[in-house]
Amino acid sequence: MGNNQPYASTSLRAHPIPLLPALTNSPRLLHVGCPNIGNREHFLRRIEAMLDRQWLSNNGPLVQEFEKRIAEYVGVKHAIAVCNGTVALELAAKALDLKGEVIIPSYTFVATAHALQWQGIRPVFADINQATHNLDPAAVEVRITGQTSAIVGVHLWGRPCPVESLQELADRHRLALMFDASHAFGCSHKGRMIGNFGACEVFSFHATKFLNSFEGGAITTNCDNLAVRLRKMKNFGFEGYDNVSTLGTNGKMPEICAAMGLTGLDSIADFIANNRRNYDAYRESLKGMPGIELMPYDPEEAGNFQYIIVELADDLCSRRDEVVDALHSGGVLARKYFWPGCHRMMPYRELYPEEHRHLGQTERVAARVIVLPTGMSVETADIERICGIIGETVTGRING
């Protein structure tokens, strides 16, 4: 596809995606990651007050309130708001003094790997559990070497990692453990909110996420010393007005982003209820459809239901592109997350060309997943249409 293709708005997804011609002519596009937007009047009132104060950045009152409310919602001692989730990952890795090798899944958004490689830390890819799409602790253990300094688990699709097994593994090998919780705000594990596990957890509040602040992120931790270090590091290492006491960067969240995040927090119960309704509608519409399986959520845990994940059966996964193309032609921007896996993206496929040998389940899952739209802009009628397109395509394949 040439560089002259139109691009979808970068506010709607993690990176610009060249659109098919059919999408550009569609009267109403349905996107994976279309932003959840709270009460506009509440947001605009916050913006008016911000402009009146003339305090636009540098730990303003909106950022302070956002951090307080995030910490209260998660039930954690500290929430440190930053400019985006990738910088949050970088800051967390730096504050934990990670070095050498860090074990992560390949089946994740590439930022998880980039945040390490950017700092000269080698991401070592471990395989996943096919059923959960999360790290397999047994696969993690075989990849630990004398150079390993940490494990980074990813709560993919908002479904918790095997937290206890990874913590036991980290403790036994004297490794740091942190979590990329970009998908998991509002989710719980064994009744405890995600954000409380490991040394720290990192949230993304990008526009595509369940709770968004336009761009933004946060690091949550129950460690007082780590929180102090993170707060200094996100503001150039300043400690006090004129004193720089450590290496730092500019990771601050601006006030306008905090205003959007606070407005989303005001409506978070509505976001969850809407997503749950959509999930149930997808489950009903896909029920009995041959070769299609909808990934379930644990009814005993809190969830945000932000990701509608379908897997194709073995006899259909070779036709996944056909299903995705049919959806695109119908104005439905479904995604093949997280294909083909970080290990087959640059620079990793050249830096570490043998990683695929360890990642059989990763490659199997990456070849069969389709992510479907949900969120406040998706209605039941949309879901029926989406599932109708899938059904027609799948039925044509089987009967053909």
**Which strand (E) or helix (H) includes residue 222?**
none
**What integer pLDDT is reported at residue 113 of this predicted model?**
98
The arithmetic mean of pLDDT across residues 25-33, rounded, is 76
User: Does 19 share its domain with 129?
Assistant: no
Task: Choose one of 266, 283, 308: the last residue of a domain.
Answer: 266
Say yes or no: 113 and 136 in one domain. yes
Domain shared by 380 and 253, yes or no: no
**Which residue's structure tokens are 């993304």?**
204
**Which residue blocks in the chain are alpha helix, DSSP H?**
21-24, 40-53, 61-74, 85-95, 111-117, 137-141, 163-173, 224-233, 255-266, 268-286, 320-329, 348-351, 360-366, 380-399
Mean pLDDT of 346-364: 97
Amino acid at 201: E
Task: Express each pLDDT in 102-158 by its tens digit.
Answer: 999 999 999 999 999 999 999 999 999 999 999 999 999 999 999 999 999 999 999
List the domain range (segments joined by +) for residue 166: 40-266
The answer as to whether 365 is a domain residue is no
Question: If residue 210 lies in a helix (H) or strand (E), which one and from where to where?
Answer: none
Verify that 153 and 246 share a domain, yes or no. Answer: yes
Task: Give a yes or no: residue 314 inside a domain.
Answer: yes
Question: What total of structural domains would you count in the chain?
Answer: 2
Residues 108 and 21 in one domain: no
Q: 132 in a domain, yes or no?
A: yes
Count CB-CB contacts under 10 A for residue 258: 28
Q: What is the pLDDT of residues 211-262, one digit of tens each?
A: 999 999 999 999 999 999 999 999 999 998 899 999 999 999 999 999 999 9
- Whether 175 contacts 192, CB under 8 Å: no
Residues 106 and 233 in one domain: yes
234, 80 contact by CB (below 8 A): yes
Q: How far apart are CA 138 and CA 115, in angstroms?
A: 24
pLDDT at position 240, please? 87
Q: 3-state DSSP helix/strand/coil percent for the chain, to nearest 5?
A: 40, 15, 40
- DSSP 3-state assignment of 13? coil
- Using the predicted structure, report yes or no on whether residue 16 has a pLDDT greater than 80: no
Residue 93 CA to residue 152 CA, distance in Å, equals: 10
- Would you give the distance in Å from CA 165 to the centre of its chain? 22
% of the chain with per-residue pLDDT over 70: 92
**Does residue 194 sit within a domain?**
yes
Give the model's pLDDT for residue 18. 47
Residues 262 and 272 in one domain: no
Question: Are 253 and 274 contained in the same domain?
Answer: no
Q: Tell whether 195 and 121 lie within a shared domain.
A: yes
- Position 268 pLDDT exceeds 50: yes
- Confidence tier at 395 by pLDDT (50, 70, 90): confident
- Residue 27's pLDDT is 53
Summary mean pLDDT of the chain:
92
State the virtual CA torsion across 170, 173, 175, 179 in degrees, nearest 10. Answer: -20
Same domain, 168 and 300: no
307 in a structural domain = yes
User: Helix crossing, 380-399 with 268-286: angle to 10°?
Assistant: 30
Measured CA to CA, the distance from residue 306 to residue 216 in angstroms comes to 18
Q: Write the CATH number for 168.
A: 3.40.640.10
Q: What is the pLDDT of residues 288-341, one digit of tens each?
A: 999 999 999 999 999 999 999 999 999 899 999 999 999 999 999 999 999 999
Q: Are 372 and 282 in contact (CB under 8 A)?
A: yes
Whether 61 has a pLDDT exceeding 70, the answer reads yes
User: Looking at the structure, do residues 236 and 273 belong to the same domain, yes or no?
Assistant: no
- Asked if residue 276 and residue 250 are part of one domain, the reply reads no
Q: Do the domain assignments include residue 302?
A: yes
**Type of residue numbered 4:** N
| The domain boundary residue, chosen from 222, 237, 266 | 266
For residue 356, being part of any structural domain is answered with no
CATH assignment of the domain containing 316: 3.90.1150.10
Instruction: Please indicate whether residue 7 or residue 198 has the higher confidence score (pLDDT).
Output: 198
Of 266, 288, 308, the position where a domain reaches its end is 266
Average pLDDT on 192-203 reads 98
Query: What confidence score (pLDDT) does residue 241 get?
Result: 87
Q: Is residue 366 part of a domain?
A: no
